[in-house]
Chain A
Amino acid sequence: MFAYIVRRLLYAIPILVGVNLLTFALFFVVNTPDDMARMQLGAKRVTPEAIEKWKAERGYDLPLVWNSNEKFFLDKATKTIFVQKSAKLFLFDFGYSEDKRDIAGEITTRMWPSLALQVPVFFIGLAVCITFALLMAVFRASYLDVWGVVLCVAMMAISMLFYIIGGQYLFSKVLHLVPISGYQGGGDAFKFLILPVAIGVIAGIGGASRLYRTLFLEEMAKDFVRTARAKGLSERVVLFRHVLRNALIPILTGVVVAIPFLFLGSLLQESFFGIPGLGSYTIEAIQAQDFAVLRAMVFIGAVLYILALIATDISYTVADPRVRLQ
């Protein structure tokens, strides 16, 4: 397994280079360093000298990918915006945003509120969805199953925005049970997180429960479950030891890959609930044409995604001893 992990990590290097290249190309197709400077400096009293100064200070006065002004080949290739800005990312040195804030510090600060919101949503949501799906599967064709599926389809049809606005309206504006938005660290975070967590869980029930129900029903129809029942095992044992365990692999495929999003946050929920997480960091960077933040966030997203995919593969070996990573 160790060799497999090392190989996968080595594969990650060209992937990350490619991601960087793509981010760079997409960004600079739309924006020029002059545009970035103007965006940062505002619309009033911006002189050409101020723009040149801004660019020189941040290294955007270099050519994008090839510096023909340099004498040596190495300098021609490296004294460019692409190399100067991207190379340090591989050492996890994200540098400063275009408005001179430390990006690593900003990410570290904003990561915790995102995690505080997304981790409970992830685990509670997983537990709720599996429980609900198991219930529907166990009581298949009963009123619980039929109305459960109807409820799931209805919940899938409703947009996240509606859950948020509806939840805020009902629980905060009408019933006055929780703050409508805001955030405080420590124990005080509970009252701010209870509504967004509940909404995050509820919004995810529809799709996930339907998928899990299908997976469970497929397992329940297999011979080993019949054999387990024929042995006289209790329903509880059949469900949790045989059905759930065997349905875990497809569930893990979807679940572990979602782990990066726990760090990267949720844009909508964080915006509406005033949670100072990472969800809006990338969007704000795009709006402000802040390439430094954008490339850092894309890089982190890519790294986390690669790690999550490796973790998914490893989790298969835990869930199913027959799986071997080579």
Chain B
Amino acid sequence: MRALLLMLLLPLAAGCGEVWNDPYPAAERGKNILYSVFTERPKHLDPAQSYATDESQFTMQVYEPPLQYHYLKRPYQLVPNTALEVPQPKMVEKDGATYSVYEIRIQPGIRFQPHPAFVEKNLDLRKEQVDALGTPYQLPLGTRELTADDYIYQIKRLAHPRLQVPIFGLMSEYIVGLKEYAAALKKADKPGEWLDLRQHPLAGVERVDAHGYRVTLKGRYPQFAYWLAMHFFSPMPWEADKFFQQPGMAQKNFTIDWWPVGTGPYMLSENDPNSRMVLERNPNYRGVPYPSEGDPEDGKNGLLADAGKTMPFIDKAVYSREREAIPLWNKFLQGYYDTSGIGSDNFDQAVRISADGDAGLTPEMEKRGVRMETSVEPTVFYLGANWLDPVIGGAAGGESAERARKLRQALAIAIDWEEYLSVFANGRGVPSHSPLAPGIFGYREGKDSINPVTHEWKDGKAVRRPIEAARKRLAEAGYPDGRDARTGQPLVLYLDTVDRGPGGKAVIDWWRKQFARLSIQFEPRQTDWNRFQEKLRKGNTQLFMVGWRADYPDPENFMFLLNGPQARARGGGENASNYSNPEYDALFARMRHMPNSPGRQEIIDRMVDIFRRDAPWIGGFHRKSIGLIQGWLSNVKPNEMADNKLRYYRLDAARREAARRAWNRPIVWPLVLLVLAIVLATIPAFRSYRRRERMAATREQGAQPTPLRPPHPPGASA
């Protein structure tokens, strides 16, 4: 009995010490390691092929393009990364054509991370040697200095015949000779052999010296500087390309797409996209100072406390894959993740919305020391009207176009995007009044920001116009009470949507309610993603909902979504509504290559006015991100353009360890009680069984006559 008591008490005693639910190895406790998550396995880590935000959280810690965004200053500003300065284009006239020449000077002395590609003998491996490897890092490692050739090699890779480069189409319109270069490489490429791009010169890219290179673009393209801050223009050593082309490498998933090679503060040391990705400090990283300037409130928020100190501050970052929201959220609450987003299911637990509509943390979160950071993403999600549609579009011209314009305006007033955001996004978004997201040059603040067609300015706030205004506009369009005044037929509008299933039904019901406010019959055409995209390409939609996330913080990257030559149905461009207005297009052509200036602002204002009048998008919203940060993580400021943020973060590992211990003390007694209950419940049965056994044993010894009747009557049913 005493032994039994001891057994029961032992786990209770153990519960007083270590935490039991720590998902990380004990050796990592108290270390300067950041823990975060990823939900989707990254498809590409090759800087030429990757184009997804969730991939950039890895690639941009490893690769260093020549430029970057200032971490703290807003609006977003380009600053040098490996470059000595932000290059200014030099305009050159040649044979009657204009060219922009960017000369980029990079800092000397930058070294690549340790990598086997930099050891000469590793470039001539036998297949058996490759087969024996667990990771490429099991080979001898080397390094070398970063040179201009590495940047040139990467630009050439944009035209590589074996790579799917999302920006090749765009860049081939600007970089001199890139299109022809792709054709030449395709001809030179031999299956199974390494294609040495150094042997093939590219006309528009020129080596100046070991630390300088020149890129020549056709015409003016000031937005090119923004591309120089993206991973597409990161350096790629030729050795890495050759190393991963060796026989057997691809079969082991040893590719550039899987094992990035860079000069950044971190290197990918573990790559298991099904479970976890690990970034470790690059021992060869030069170290750069934390910014000493920022926005006025940054100092007050402690974001300048580390000014001038050498980065990075964190030694290692472990990203675990979480497919489901429940474990992710609970692990954040247990202190096992340092940052977290907020899902709809957990929103009320984390955030409370004040009477003014401002989001704040709940007392529970405040007690835990959690901080909240919000920012409006450079996105726009909109209800597009197909310009080619005879009812809702404006392509037909004349009276029909005018009726359609008023119909679109009526819908733009009636569809309550504020309600949509409240119901379906927990308020995480701001209704859009123009294509431009807040924070982008050209976006007006305050009273000037509102769309006067749909909203009015009251008490310092944008207020949606009453439904009567929409009904009046609908009657002007020739559809009083939702019926065609000429034929008396009800007006039916169709929405192509991929919203399906239980969640989709709620959204569809909401849409139906919005259209019903104008007595318009609403017909959803639910379809899958493939068919939806096909309909957009063919211009076979009437109303549809799509979104866009900007590549860079320039108004051109939003306003081009309505540029006529970019119409999706005509040329496969990004203008999904096929909107076409010569006046708008002319203004866009003037605005797109202008520097940010009052003149550019004036043109943008005129374009926004046209947009509001024509209403090719019937409203929409800009998504707002809300991030939760544990109290022990500092230097966190939302930056929607920069992805190389890990280097700025600092964490207090001792504080985290204490919090984890306090929040995760094991509670054992209910388990002991459960075991006891099971044991007690089975004791009578066990005793009964033993009694029967003993009876049988007694019978075997002949002390009792053998019973004629078995313990259970035969034929008893189940």
- Chain A residues with CB under 8 Å of chain B are 30-32, 35, 38-50, 53-54, 57, 96, 99-102, 105-106, 109-110, 135, 138-144, 165, 168, 172-184, 188, 191-192, 213-214, 217-218, 220-223, 225-226, 229-230, 232-236, 271-274, 276, 280, 284, 289
- Per DSSP, are chain A's interface residues mostly helix, strand or loop, or mixed? helix
Q: Are A176 and B167 in contact (CB under 8 A)?
A: no
Q: Which residues of B contact A230 (CB under 8 A)?
A: 706, 708, 710
Q: Which residues of A contact B23 (CB under 8 A)?
A: 179-182, 192
Q: Which residues of B contact A280 (CB under 8 A)?
A: 323
Least distance between B381 CB and chain A CB atoms (Å): 13
Further contacts, 4 of them, CB under 8 A, given A42-B51, A46-B166: A45-B169, A192-B23, A230-B710, A271-B323
Q: Are A276 and B274 in contact (CB under 8 A)?
A: yes
Q: Are A44 and B718 in contact (CB under 8 A)?
A: no
Least distance between A290 CB and chain B CB atoms (Å): 10
Q: Are B697 and A234 in contact (CB under 8 A)?
A: yes
> How far is A225 from B714 in the complex, measured between Cα atoms in Å?
9
Q: Is B162 an interface residue (CB 8 A)?
A: yes
Say which residue of B20, B170, B331 sits within 8 Å of A177 (CB atoms): B20
Q: Which residues of B contact A165 (CB under 8 A)?
A: 326
Q: How many residues of B contact A (CB 8 A)?
A: 76
The 8 closest A-B pairs by CB, nearest first: A276-B274, A182-B23, A181-B327, A276-B275, A179-B23, A35-B530, A217-B718, A47-B169
Least distance between A88 CB and chain B CB atoms (Å): 14
Q: Is B9 an interface residue (CB 8 A)?
A: no
Say which residue of A102, A217, A229 sits within 8 Å of B716 (CB atoms): A217
Most central of B320, B324, B333, B717 by chain A CB within 10 Å:
B324
Least distance between A33 CB and chain B CB atoms (Å): 11
Least distance between A186 CB and chain B CB atoms (Å): 10
> How far is A53 from B172 in the complex, measured between Cα atoms in Å?
16
> How far is A175 from B44 in the complex, measured between Cα atoms in Å?
40
Q: What per-residue 1/0 map shows which CB atoms of B299-330 lie under 8 Å from chain A?
A: 00000000000000000000011111011001
Say which residue of B51, B323, B689, B697 sits within 8 Å of A138 (CB atoms): B689
Say which residue of A96, A176, A213, A222 sits within 8 Å of B20 (CB atoms): A176
Q: Are A178 and B699 in contact (CB under 8 A)?
A: no
Q: Is B164 an interface residue (CB 8 A)?
A: yes
16 contacts between A and B (CB under 8 A): A40-B164, A47-B169, A53-B161, A105-B251, A105-B252, A143-B684, A168-B327, A175-B671, A176-B666, A176-B667, A179-B21, A181-B23, A184-B25, A225-B710, A274-B322, A284-B41
Q: Which residues of B contact A96 (CB under 8 A)?
A: 250
Q: Which residues of B contact A40 (CB under 8 A)?
A: 43, 164
CB-CB nearest in chain A for B717: A217
Q: Are A176 and B323 in contact (CB under 8 A)?
A: no
A44-B51, A45-B169, A230-B706 as given contacts; A139 in contact with B685, CB under 8 Å: yes
Q: Is B272 an interface residue (CB 8 A)?
A: yes
Say which residue of A99, A226, A236, A274 sits within 8 Å of B275 (CB atoms): A274
Q: Are A42 and B252 in contact (CB under 8 A)?
A: no
Say which residue of A53, A140, A229 sits within 8 Å of B710 (CB atoms): A229
Q: Are B20 and A100 in contact (CB under 8 A)?
A: no
Q: Which residues of B contact A143 (CB under 8 A)?
A: 684
CB-CB nearest in chain B for A214: B718
Q: What per-residue 1/0 map shows which CB atoms of B61-75 lie under 8 Å from chain A?
A: 000000000000000
Q: Which residues of A contact B203 (CB under 8 A)?
A: none
Q: Are A174 and B706 in contact (CB under 8 A)?
A: no
A176-B20, A177-B21 as given contacts; A183 in contact with B275, CB under 8 Å: yes
Contact residues, B161-178 vs A (CB, 8 A): 161-162, 164, 166-170
Q: Are B21 and A176 in contact (CB under 8 A)?
A: yes
- Per DSSP, are chain B's interface residues mostly helix, strand or loop, or mixed? loop
Q: Which residues of A contact B711 (CB under 8 A)?
A: 229, 235
Q: Are B530 and A38 in contact (CB under 8 A)?
A: yes
Q: Are B327 and A31 in contact (CB under 8 A)?
A: no
CB-CB nearest in chain A for B275: A276
Q: Are B668 and A54 in contact (CB under 8 A)?
A: no
> How far is A284 from B273 in the complex, measured between Cα atoms in Å?
13
> How far is A138 from B689 in the complex, measured between Cα atoms in Å?
9
CB-CB nearest in chain B for A172: B21
Q: Which residues of B contact A177 (CB under 8 A)?
A: 20-21, 666-668, 671
> How far is A172 from B272 in the complex, measured between Cα atoms in Å?
25
> How far is A139 from B716 in the complex, measured between Cα atoms in Å?
12
Q: Is B334 an interface residue (CB 8 A)?
A: yes
Q: Are A50 and B533 in contact (CB under 8 A)?
A: no
A100-B257, A182-B320 as given contacts; A48 in contact with B572, CB under 8 Å: yes
A135-B685, A168-B326, A217-B717 as given contacts; A102 in contact with B251, CB under 8 Å: yes
Least distance between B535 CB and chain A CB atoms (Å): 13
Q: Are B530 and A39 in contact (CB under 8 A)?
A: yes
> How far is A272 from B331 in the complex, measured between Cα atoms in Å?
12
Least distance between B398 CB and chain A CB atoms (Å): 33
Q: Is B506 an interface residue (CB 8 A)?
A: no
CB-CB nearest in chain A for B170: A45
Q: Which residues of A contact B52 (CB under 8 A)?
A: 42
Q: Are A49 and B169 in contact (CB under 8 A)?
A: yes
> How far is A176 from B321 in the complex, measured between Cα atoms in Å?
21
Q: Which residues of A contact B169 (CB under 8 A)?
A: 45, 47, 49-50
> How far is A284 from B718 in the complex, measured between Cα atoms in Å?
44
Least distance between A70 CB and chain B CB atoms (Å): 21
Q: Are A226 and B710 in contact (CB under 8 A)?
A: yes
> How far is A46 from B576 in the complex, measured between Cα atoms in Å?
13
Q: Is B200 an interface residue (CB 8 A)?
A: no
Q: Which residues of B contact A234 (CB under 8 A)?
A: 693, 696-697, 700
Q: Which residues of A contact B167 (CB under 8 A)?
A: 45
A44-B166, A139-B685 as given contacts; A188 in contact with B25, CB under 8 Å: yes
Least distance between B594 CB and chain A CB atoms (Å): 23
> How far is A222 from B708 in the complex, measured between Cα atoms in Å?
16
> How far is A35 from B167 in the complex, measured between Cα atoms in Å?
20
Q: What per-residue 1/0 map shows which CB atoms of B255-275 lie under 8 Å from chain A?
A: 101100000000000001011
Contact residues, B660-681 vs A (CB, 8 A): 664-668, 670-671
Q: Are B712 and A220 in contact (CB under 8 A)?
A: yes
Least distance between A44 CB and chain B CB atoms (Å): 7
Q: Are B166 and A144 in contact (CB under 8 A)?
A: no
